[in-house]
Copies of this chain bind each other. A is one copy, B any other.
Amino acid sequence: MSESTIDVLPELKQIVGAMLFAAKEPLSIKRIRKAMIETGSGFGGPYEQYAKVTESQIEGALELFQEDLLKAKVGLDVALVGGAYRLQNDAVCGPFVRALLEKNQTVRLSKPALETLAIVAYRQPCLRSEIEEVRGVSVDAILRKLMDMQLVRVVRRSELPGRPWLFGTTQRFLQHFGINSIDDLPGSQELKRASTQNEKKVATATFPEMEKELEIQ
């Protein structure tokens, strides 16, 4: 609503806010810095100062941004998700946002799916056979579904005979659950184990169909 005026240079805090708002995905500090440098060197003149911005300055600006956002109580918050910052709505306003978006039926993961996901998350990279060992039941279909949902991915092939796939969680998994890193999961030290030790222990199960599909991709 204001006239086209770029005569006032914005503070770093404003810039990170505008960027987080307009971005379609969480932003890393590196990415924010890159855009600032590009703008600074592209525009030149008084903008050149932005080309010299450091990562710690950006981090400071992000902290300040979050602080001021929460102080203003405008229904918004910042979260660190998978190592990147995301602007999101205040959790207490969730029910209203859902009503607005008519997302009354949120897709929730089933218990078995959540359990499978938990095993993959804590034990990654892990074999299908490891998951089945823990759950005592075939996880073929569930694993497939979790991969469709892009919550689980193939990390690499293991060195075991038959070279079965090793599974892990995705960036999307972190976003979906609002987790910054796997290490932030409760009891992660306890539930994890040296992967080498287990890779040997676990029996190799073939996973032919799925593997075939994956190879096509």
Contact = CB atoms under 8 A, between A and B. Distances in A.
A74 B74 CA distance: 11
Contacts of A178: 1
Interface residues on A, range: 35 or more
A90 B1 contact: no
Q: How many copies does the complex hold?
A: 2
A86 to B, nearest CB: 10
B101 A1 contact: no
A29 to B, nearest CB: 13
7 contacts: A2-B91, A11-B73, A15-B96, A18-B75, A68-B72, A68-B74, A72-B72
Interface of A: 1-6, 8-11, 13-19, 21-23, 27, 31-32, 35-36, 38-39, 42-43, 47, 50, 65-66, 68-69, 71-80, 87-101, 104, 178
